[in-house]
Amino acid sequence: MADVTYYCPRCETLATVERDAYLADKSVTPYPLEGWSYDPPSALPHADADGVRFVCGESDGVDWSEDGCGEPFYLNFVRHDEGREIDSEPASEYVELNVRPSEPRGPQGPGGPTP
């Protein structure tokens, strides 16, 4: 867990929340993204939603640097799997060359020097 800070996109009041570090941030927006679900900051650090809806200066579970503007803003996490195209890497076909190890050069063939 870590303290993470966000700026209100409207008034730049600093919001500090504690949350799981594994969640990756996509963006902070003054409006919700369509089709996304949002939890209040008090649901952190284990929010199930796609993001968090802050009310600037008012939301619980947040350290506000100032009183804020009282307007909502939205933190959007990077969503995994659902509704997201995963770039599939084509399996690279490579021809395995059938390289034989060069035959070891032994001593000259059979038959030693004969008198």
Contacting residues toward Zn ion, per CB under 5 A:
8, 10-11, 13, 56, 68-69
| Residue nearer to Zn ion on the CB measure, 10 or 26 | 10
Q: Calculate the alpha carbon distances from 58 to 22, 63, 84, 106, 110 in Å.
A: 26, 10, 33, 86, 95
CB of 29 to Zn ion, least distance (A): 13
| Residue nearer to Zn ion on the CB measure, 54 or 77 | 54
CB of 31 to Zn ion, least distance (A): 13
The CB-based long-range contact list for 35-39 (8 Å cut-off, 24+ gap) reads 36/74, 36/76, 38/74
CB of 23 to Zn ion, least distance (A): 22
